[in-house]
């Protein structure tokens, strides 16, 4: 299941993000702003419980989030979205998972994994700018589920239909929240029309 954010601000910011003339500083700023918009929607599934709060006038009923929120950027490009999510959930805990693709088998292999422990009713949000083939995200979710965690959603900026379909098939219980769903993957597995290599554009490495 996936949710595409249909919003005027998203459309304008995505246009600027796609532009090949957008430099990495502005690209990072736009990626952060888009992440905030998508993450706000993704976090609607968090659970709340009642609490009491005293306003300047009276005591009344308030709410607090019951879940331990865990943000998991997929290295390296997911790191470029981390500040955006933490703006919404500053008390969230952060884990990291690094993936590389085996040149022969084409399978995603984890080379680094560090997840928080001692969690109470955790909700994991896996962040990656692009859902392309979906392979790295599927492997990341596999790893999180092996740790016994079940509440997981994906936050992305841009997705391909092929990647969404692959993740839905492997993990039908995981929701994908994305800024935009593009047309397709090309023969080189790049999203079209896309925005190029998100990692390079975020960190100025190309």
What digits encode the pLDDT tens for the residues 5-28? 999 999 999 999 999 999 989 999
Residue 182: is its pLDDT beyond 90?
yes
Question: Residue 172 is encoded by which pair of tokens?
Answer: 């039908």
Residue 103: is its pLDDT beyond 80?
no
Residue 102: is its pLDDT beyond 80?
no
Residue 30: which domain range? 2-203
The answer to whether 160 and 137 have CB atoms below 8 angstroms apart is: no
pTM, to two decimals? 0.93
Rounded CA gap, 136 and 125, in Å? Answer: 15
pLDDT for the residue 162: 96
Q: Residue 197 belongs to a domain with what CATH number? A: 3.40.50.2020
Looking at the DSSP bridge assignments, the partners of residue 125 are: 71, 153
Which are the catalytic amino acids? 101, 105, 197, 200
Total domains in the chain come to 1
């Amino acid at each position: 299941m996936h949710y595409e954010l249909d919003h005027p601000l998203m459309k304008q910011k995505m246009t600027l993000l796609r532009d090949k003339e957008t430099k990495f500083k502005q690209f990072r700023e736009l990626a952060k702003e888009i992440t905030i918009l998508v993450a706000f929607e993704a976090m609607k599934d968090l659970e709340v419980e009642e609490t009491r709060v005293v306003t300047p006038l009276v005591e009344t009923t308030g709410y607090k989030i019951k879940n331990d929120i865990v943000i998991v950027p997929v290295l390296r490009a997911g790191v470029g979205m981390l500040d955006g999510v933490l703006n919404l959930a500053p008390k969230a805990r952060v884990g990291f998972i690094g993936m590389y693709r085996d040149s022969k088998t084409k399978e995603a292999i984890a080379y680094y994994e560090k997840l928080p422990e001692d969690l109470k009713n955790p909700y994991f949000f896996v962040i990656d700018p692009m859902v392309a083939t979906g392979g790295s995200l599927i492997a990341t979710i596999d790893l999180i589920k092996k740790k016994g965690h079940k509440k997981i959603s994906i936050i992305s900026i841009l997705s391909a239909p092929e990647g969404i379909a692959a993740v839905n098939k492997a993990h039908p219980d995981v929701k994908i929240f994305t800024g935009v769903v593009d047309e397709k993957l090309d023969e080189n597995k790049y999203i079209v029309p896309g925005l190029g290599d998100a990692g390079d554009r975020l960190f100025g490495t190309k």
